[in-house]
């Protein structure tokens, strides 16, 4: 409908103000740089024939960005503290689990004792028809804490090895006596050592060690160390095998080898048993001493335990009371 309102005889250029000759002339002669100019960029428009200005020497053209005064810590330093905290947590968790296992073991022990009516001696395991019964209660898994059970078991096996070596020594001295009638003293002493050292070693150094780990007793630790050092000296003398001392050591084995080769071989094997027994005893002595230092035991605690044990003994209390009453009675008579 707008086509019918327009004037078909009018000039079309008169209605367009941008078709003015003066405007079209300026648009044709405008520099080319203005056509490509973008006001939102940092670059400045350049006109033809003009070179861009170079920066003056010594002038910093980088943006003014302030650097931090302190460098951030390295990655390894950031990871050190969390790793130490995790290690400490794991150590505490293991300690708590060990204590929980110890409490569980003690609870089972109390339940078994209440069910059986109390502790009953079970060592040595003798037949029931004998008139003599067991003398000690021995159960490593019940009495000894978990962290010490392996050491106590090794010491028990070492005592059994000691008893077997003394038995083999008695057999070796018997064989030596069979080929040399003048070795009756050695055979007799070998029987004595077997009958004496087998029970005495169990009572004098194994039971104190067992009781020391069971009740954390400093006094029993000192008893074990003293007796075991003496036992180690006996092992060394038996390994040497001085003639006439009732031991099939190296000297006695070489002497028996001159009399009979089979007897000498048997005695050499027994000498090797005594030597290995000495070495293992020294190793276990160092191991027990290292564990003793971690238990917090000391000589002062041993003295206190000894004094407490002596004063709590009924026999000692009775003897002390009798001595005190006699002294008081004598003093009363002197005054009269």
pTM beyond 0.85: the answer is no
pLDDT digits (tens, 9 = 90+) for 3-18: 545 555 555 555 555 5
Distant-in-sequence, close-in-space partners of 48: CB < 8 Å, separation ≥ 6 = 31, 32, 33
3-state secondary structure of 73: coil
pLDDT tens string 302-332? 556 556 654 455 554 555 556 556 665 566 5
* pLDDT of 101: 76
Q: What spatial distance separates the first Cα and last Cα of the chain, rounded to whole Å? A: 161
- Which carries the bigger pLDDT value, residue 250 or residue 80? 250
Coil, strand, or helix at residue 123? strand
- From residue 269, alpha-carbon distances to 85, 174, 247, 279 in Å are 55, 15, 12, 15
The count of residues in the chain is 336
Summarised one tens digit per residue, pLDDT across range 131-150 is: 888 888 898 988 888 889 99
**DSSP string spanning 289-300?**
HHHHHHTT--HH
Residue pair 176/248 in contact (Cβ under 8 Å)? The answer is: yes
Task: Sketch the domain layout of the chain as residue ranges.
Answer: 147-307
Across 209-232, average pLDDT: 90
What was the pLDDT predicted at 128?
A: 80
Q: Is the pLDDT of residue 199 over 70?
A: yes
**pLDDT tens digits, one per residue of 171-183:** 999 999 999 888 8
Residue 291 half-sphere exposure toward CB, CA atoms < 13 A: 19
Chain mean pLDDT for the chain: 76
Say if residues 229 and 218 touch (Cβ distance below 8 Å): no
Quote the pLDDT of residue 206. 95
- Phi and psi at residue 148, in whole multiples of 5°? -110, -5
Instruction: Report whether pLDDT(130) > 50.
Output: yes
Q: Please report which confidence band the pLDDT of residue 164 belongs to, taking 50, 70 and 90 as the band edges.
A: very high
Which tokens hold the place of 219? 């006094």
| 302/137 Cα distance (integer angstroms) | 24
Residue 311: per-residue pLDDT: 47
Residue 290, CA distances (Å) to 7, 148, 225, 297 in order: 121, 12, 12, 11
Token reading at 262: 């089979």
- Check residue 173 and give its pLDDT: 94
**Position 1 pLDDT exceeds 60:** no
pLDDT at 286 over 70: yes
Spatial separation of the C-alpha atoms in residues 248 and 107, rounded to whole Å: 49
Q: What is the mean pLDDT of residues 105-116?
A: 66
**pLDDT, tens digit (0-9, with 9 covering 90-100), for 21-71:** 665 665 565 555 555 556 555 555 555 545 555 555 544 555 555 555 555
Contact 271, 250 (CB under 8 A): yes
Does residue 230 have a pLDDT over 70? yes
Q: Which of 131, 144, 140, 171 is nearest to 265 (CA)?
A: 171
Per-residue confidence (pLDDT) for residue 118, from 0 to 100? 61
């Amino acid at each position: 409908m707008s086509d019918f309102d327009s004037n078909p005889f009018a000039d079309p250029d008169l209605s367009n103000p941008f078709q003015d000759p003066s405007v079209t002339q300026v648009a044709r002669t405008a520099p080319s740089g203005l056509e490509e100019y973008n006001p939102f960029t940092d670059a400045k428009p350049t006109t033809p024939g003009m070179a861009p200005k170079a920066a003056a020497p010594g002038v910093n053209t980088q943006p003014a960005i302030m650097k931090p005064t302190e460098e951030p810590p390295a990655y390894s330093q950031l990871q050190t503290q969390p790793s130490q905290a995790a290690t400490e947590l794991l150590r505490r968790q293991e300690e708590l689990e060990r204590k929980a296992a110890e409490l569980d073991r003690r609870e089972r022990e109390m339940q078994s004792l209440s069910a059986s009516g109390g502790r009953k001696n079970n060592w040595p395991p003798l037949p029931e028809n004998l008139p003599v019964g067991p003398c000690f209660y021995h159960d490593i898994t019940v009495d000894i804490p978990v962290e010490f059970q392996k050491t106590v078991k090794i010491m028990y096996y070492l005592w059994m090895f000691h008893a077997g070596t003394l038995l083999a020594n008695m057999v070796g001295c018997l064989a030596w006596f069979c080929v040399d009638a003048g070795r009756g003293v050695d055979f007799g002493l070998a029987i004595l050592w077997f009958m004496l050292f087998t029970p005495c070693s169990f009572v004098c150094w194994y039971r104190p060690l067992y009781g020391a780990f069971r009740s954390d007793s400093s006094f029993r630790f000192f008893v074990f160390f003293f007796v075991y050092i003496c036992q180690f000296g006996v092992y060394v003398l038996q390994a040497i095998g001085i003639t006439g001392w009732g031991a099939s050591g190296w000297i006695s084995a070489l002497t028996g080898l001159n009399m009979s080769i089979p007897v000498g071989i048997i005695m050499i094997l027994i000498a090797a048993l005594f030597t290995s027994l000495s070495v293992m005893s020294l190793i276990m002595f160092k191991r027990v001493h290292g564990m003793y230092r971690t238990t917090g035991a000391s000589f002062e605690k041993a003295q206190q335990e000894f004094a407490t044990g002596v004063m709590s003994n009924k026999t000692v209390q009775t003897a002390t009371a009798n001595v005190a009453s006699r002294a008081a009675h004598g003093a009363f008579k002197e005054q009269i």
